[in-house]
Amino acid sequence: MRNSRYLRLLPALLIGAVEVGIAYFDYSTPGGSLILLQSLPVVVASLLFGYTGYGVSFALALVLGVFVKMFAHSGVLVELDLIRLLVLALVGLAVAEASEDRRKLRELSRTDGLTGLPNYRWFRETLETEFLRSRRYGHETSLILADVDRFKAVNDTYGHQVGNHILRDLALILRRAVRDVDFPARIGGDEFAVLLPETSEEEAVAVAKRVQRAVRDTTFAALYGLPLHVGVSLGVATYPVDASTPDELIAKADAALYAAKRSGRGQVKSA
């Protein structure tokens, strides 16, 4: 995630570098030494605003560049230089729009359309990253897997629209029950996961029980005039106590989840 921020700067820096190069080759022309000044705002603005959007950075570069040129030439603008600034600004806006489109597409590809939670793909990427961090710094990382009890029966009895409403409400419960640094996700069907960085198994079990209580106390599908209550079973596993790899952590949490179901459902079990 951190590296992607720096990668977003590359187009702005490359275009700024090209502009500096053009100015350098213009150095021998009349007034060429002053043309170099117009490139500096491009680079500075790109660095300052690269994190927030290329459109802002290049719009600012255009304004600053024009003012520098006006100052350098005592109010006289060279037509070619003005055209170059305008083209540069348009390129920057195009890059900004394309970058934003790619960002939105990437987010959509990693987000569950029904609940708005991260999907399995995003969950898996985050789990791998968190595992590397935990190994490096010696932190514990816990995983909660949650499954709606008898969800198929709910769908068969009340219909998929009610089932979808329950899943959306569960997503809201998960978001409210965890910290900002935790990572709730819908990983398939009626199964959810919560990744808890720097969290012991005991702390993770406490979070799972908090989720369980919130679900138990919630009336679902009220929009359809159906005062429906459901339960969830939850399984907890922790690195490095229970597992040494991401796959093993998922398997151990999944085994704990099904142990909870075999014990009568609506329970929390740890690996």
Residue 117 identity: L
- Return the pLDDT at 135: 94
- Return the pLDDT at 237: 98
The domain ranges of the chain are: 2-109, 120-270
How confident is the prediction along the chain (271 residues), in pLDDT tens digits per residue? 445 544 555 555 555 555 545 544 444 444 444 444 444 555 455 545 444 444 555 555 555 555 555 555 544 445 445 555 555 556 665 565 666 666 666 666 789 989 999 999 999 999 999 999 999 999 999 999 999 999 999 888 888 888 999 999 999 999 999 999 999 999 999 999 999 999 999 999 999 999 999 999 988 866 667 788 899 999 999 999 999 999 999 999 999 999 999 998 889 999 9
Q: Mapped to the 3 state alphabet, what secondary structure does 78-120 carry? A: CHHHHHHHHHHHHHHHHHHHHHHHHHHHHHHHCECCCCCCECH
Listed in sequence order, the residues at least 6 apart from 43 whose beta carbon sits closer than 8 Å to its beta carbon are: 13, 16, 17, 20
What pLDDT, in 10s, does the model give residues 115-160?
Answer: 999 999 999 999 999 999 999 999 999 999 999 999 999 888 888 8
- Return the pLDDT at 139: 94
CATH architecture of 120-270: 2-Layer Sandwich (3.30)
Per-residue DSSP letter, 181: T
Q: Using an 8 Å Cβ cutoff, are 128 and 202 in contact?
A: no
Of 146, 144, 165, 145, nearest in space to 154 by CA:
165
Per-residue DSSP letter, 27: G
Q: What does the chain come to in residues?
A: 271
| Cis previous bond, 240, omega within 30 | yes
